Structure 1
Amino acid sequence: MSEISGSSNYIDQLSWQEPQTEISDQPKDTMLSQEDFFQLLTQQLAYQDPFKPVENAEMVAQMSSFTTAEGIGQLNEQMTGLNSIMSSSQALQASSLVGQKVLVPTGYSHKTDTTGIDGVVSLSAPTNNVTVRIEDTTGQVVHSITMGAKEAGNARFEWDGTDASGNQLPQGNYVVKAYALQGDSSVELPISTYAKVDSVSISGANGVALNLQGIQGGFRLSDVLEVAKG
Structure 2
Amino acid sequence: MATTSIQNIPTVKGANDAAAKAKLGQRSLGQDDFLRLMTAQLQYQDPFNPTDNTQMVAQMAQMSSLSGITEMSSTLKSLAARMGGTSDAVSWIGKAVLTPTATAVADAKGNVTGAVELDGEAQQVKVEIRDASGNLARSVSLGAQPAGMVDYQWDGKTDDGSAAGAGPYTISVAATDQNGQVVKARNLAWAGVSSVVPNNGKPLLTLSSGEQVQAETVRKIA
| Shorter-chain TM-score range | 0.5 to 0.7
Larger Rg: 1
Any conservation in 1 of the 2:131–2:137 contact (CA below 8 Å)? yes
Match of 1:132 in 2: 127
Alpha-carbon separation, structure 1, partners of 2:25 and 2:197: 36
Partner amino acid, structure 2, of 1:84: A
Return the TM-score normalized by structure 2.
0.60
2:16 corresponds in structure 1 to 58
1:157 maps to 2:157? no
Deviation sequence 1:147-190 (CA, Å, 0-9, x none): 11112221111111111211112223222111123323555512
Question: Does 2:62 align with 1:104?
Answer: no
Report SS of the residue matched to 1:57: helix
Alignment match, 1:220: 214
User: Gapped runs of 5+ residues in structure 2?
Assistant: 1-10, 29-69
Provide the rounded CA distance (Å) in 2 between the counterparts of 1:177 and 1:112. Answer: 19
Distance 1:82 1:96, change over 3 A: same
Cα drift, residue 79 of structure 1: 10
Aligned pair in 2 of structure 1 residues 206, 136: CA closer, same or farther (>3 Å)? farther
Question: Which residue identity does 1:212 align to in structure 2?
Answer: L
Change (3 A) 1:187 1:138: farther
3-state SS, counterpart of residue 109 of structure 2: coil
Residue of structure 2 aligned with 1:94, choices 89, 95, 106: 89
CA deviation after TM superposition for structure 1 residue 101, in Å:
1.2
Q: Partners of 2:115 and 2:214 in 1: how far apart? A: 19
Letter in 2 for 1:164: D
Correspondence 1:170-181 to 2 at 5 A: 170-181=165-176
Partners of 2:196 and 2:120 in 1: how far apart? 37
Letter aligned with residue 103 of structure 1 = L
1:1-30: CA deviations, max 9, x gaps?
Answer: xxxxxxxxxxxxxxxxxxxxxxxxxxxxxx
Measure the CA separation in 2 of the matches of 1:90 and 1:144: 38
Runs of 4+ in 1 over 4 A off after TM superposition: 62-70, 77-80, 185-188
Could you say which residue in structure 2 is the equivalent of 1:19?
none
Q: Which runs of 5+ in 1 are unaligned?
A: 1-52
Deviation string for 1:64-111 (max 9, x for gaps)? Answer: 5677797xxx9xx679538628948742x3333222211112222223
Q: CA separation of 1:185/1:140 partners in 2, compared to 1, >3 Å: closer, same or farther?
A: farther
The aligned counterpart of 1:211 is 206
Mapped to 2, the partners of 1:88 and 1:109 lie a distance apart of: 28
Q: Distance in 2 between matches of 1:155 and 1:66?
A: 64
Give % identity.
22
> For 2:77, which of 77, 81, 91 is the aligned residue?
81
CA distance in 2, matches of 1:176, 1:131: 10
What number of residue pairs does the alignment pair up?
168
- 8 A contact 1:110–1:215 mirrored in 2: no
1:193 aligned residue (186, 189, 195): 189
Q: Distance in 2 between matches of 1:150 and 1:143?
A: 20
